[in-house]
Chain A
């Protein structure tokens, strides 16, 4: 089976006044194709950066080490980045804020037409329009949307239009960067279902970045929890999200209200460390309830535990 994404010892960092701040460190990830893979974490933990890297959208002033291979193409090789081969054809990104993905000066139809025409150059105008209308119906938008401007659509419709735009080049991988975070509760479910359906029907590899656990539970096959630029636990969605092993994941799940339960919500004290100022040893030490000596000295490696990977000294034998 072809791996959609494979990274080995991937580091991504940005330049700050004091030097380079590494947002992502020593990332070793293998994502199979045709599944929905979730990246979960708090804001600023680096999940968006990983998504950007996979989608080929790292800014030119970023620094990289290690390797990233997307569908057999060497996208990142130490300091060299070759994004041109994968943008659009293989990977597309759906941004967090749907409104900003759409050009406010063009109708939805025009934008989709351009995207379609860019990839299928030998189609006539009529065929291009037909394809665009097809895309619109895939995301469950009416034909009228073709002639409308983005500001005339509601938030949910804009998000669907952005998804349609992303599907235009018929990519193999879609990186969805928090697609539901800016929507209200009802729409969250609707869009999540849409994405799930699209992944199945189009046989896509969906990389779903989110910080909302219930959505992840609903949508994902496999999950990787990121903390401070590293994977701390990875496995199938049911395993990780029902029986978490890593203390961070445990606390994360406890912090989420479960339907109508009346239990007390626990807060995770403290804040994640900013990139560039990671403490020595395990990065979760300041907030971990199970801290012991070894945690402070050395950072645990990612080890296999059954079907999952985990980064915690408690499970090290």
Chain B
């Protein structure tokens, strides 16, 4: 059951992990092979190079003692100064956050699509274990989950393209390019500002990549739900409920489903990080803006600060998600005494 003690423990654990991530980035920036200032400046060439390198050296404070540098580094991270992108000349945090939101929107929608489908499929086959449907769904989910996401995305793109679907590529059509919102989720922002046209457009462009992305959680969740439900059905108290004559639907709904929430929540937390990376792939195929796009361009331009920022941001989100998943598990499992 949930207790303040547990929450505090998890909170500090995740804080500690975030701190560790920041320390790792510090090490990578300052102790990687080569001149840190050169790397931080983005390996510039040309006439302005030495100026850029000097500025980087100043920023990193390489002549200061180690402890001061660590303190400055940590302080900067917590106050939002994550450096300036070499390529875009903009603050790293803003760039990363915006692109991250784009990818996050994709991931969230893929979960919204995947969870009901996986639940329905998983329940159906759990109730019919050993039948043809069971085997069929199992192999389909293996194929779904195991196929490379670019293959699924490419096939879907091809099909839609050939059938004349015009809402392919980008998050919104170019005519809405100036639309700016609060949250970074175009679908939500457009509704908040009352622009239904933007909403419809962005939603239609969101669905195909989200669908492609959802194949992974569908594949994994269906199998897990199938196994967990079967295990629950074999429990003695379910047999007792059968003996009492309670009907199948009620048993599934009130006895079986609550048991699997914790497993499903934990799995969603785990899948989240993987999905973020898969989202980058799908964005690439569907030519959408997002983290993948950002990182690709960063590599080409040797934009080290941007990459560090992206890595830290992603790591922090992952840590938070995993903590949340654990907390949900603690809430839903009354037997877990913390």
Interface residues of A, Cβ cutoff 8 Å to B: 55-57, 87-89, 92-93, 95, 97, 100-106, 114-115, 118-119, 149, 151, 162, 165-166, 168-169
Contacts and interface: CB of A to CB of B under 8 A. Distances in A.
Given A88-B243, A103-B255, 19 more contacts: A89-B245, A93-B240, A95-B236, A100-B237, A100-B240, A101-B240, A103-B237, A104-B237, A104-B334, A105-B259, A105-B332, A105-B335, A115-B241, A115-B246, A118-B244, A118-B247, A119-B245, A151-B334, A151-B335
Chain B interface SS verdict (over half) = helix
B3 interface: no
24 contacts: A57-B243, A87-B242, A87-B245, A88-B243, A89-B245, A93-B240, A95-B239, A95-B240, A100-B235, A100-B237, A102-B240, A103-B255, A104-B237, A104-B335, A105-B258, A105-B259, A114-B250, A115-B241, A118-B246, A118-B247, A119-B245, A162-B240, A168-B244, A169-B245
Contacts of B241: 103, 115
A115 B254 CA distance: 11
Nearest to B254: A114
The 9 closest A-B CB pairs, nearest first, are A88-B245, A100-B236, A87-B245, A101-B240, A103-B237, A88-B244, A93-B243, A105-B258, A118-B246
Interface centre among B236, B243, B247, B332 (most CB of A within 10 A): B243
Nearest to A152: B334
B255 A92 contact: no
Contact of B246 (A106, A114, A166): A114
A103 B250 CA distance: 14
A166 B237 contact: no
Contacts of B242: 57, 87
Interface size class of B (residues with CB under 8 A): 20 to 34
Contacts of A92: 243-244
Nearest to B236: A100
Interface string B219-261: 0000000000000000111011111111100100011001100
B236 A97 contact: yes
A104 to B, nearest CB: 6
Given A105-B259, A151-B335, A118 B254 contact: no
A149 B334 contact: yes
A96 to B, nearest CB: 9
Contacts of B258: 105-106
A66 B91 CA distance: 83
A181 B259 CA distance: 29
Contacts of A165: 240, 244
A97 B240 CA distance: 11
Contacts of B243: 55-57, 87-88, 92-93
A120 to B, nearest CB: 12
Contact of A101 (B237, B245, B335): B237
Q: Residue among B239, B245, B334, B335 with the most chain A CB within 10 A?
A: B245
B128 to A, nearest CB: 13
Contacts of A118: 244-247, 250
Given A149-B334, A151-B334, A151-B335, A102 B244 contact: no
Interface string B319-338: 00000000000001111000
A87 B334 contact: no
A169 B244 contact: yes
Contacts of B254: 106, 114
A157 to B, nearest CB: 16
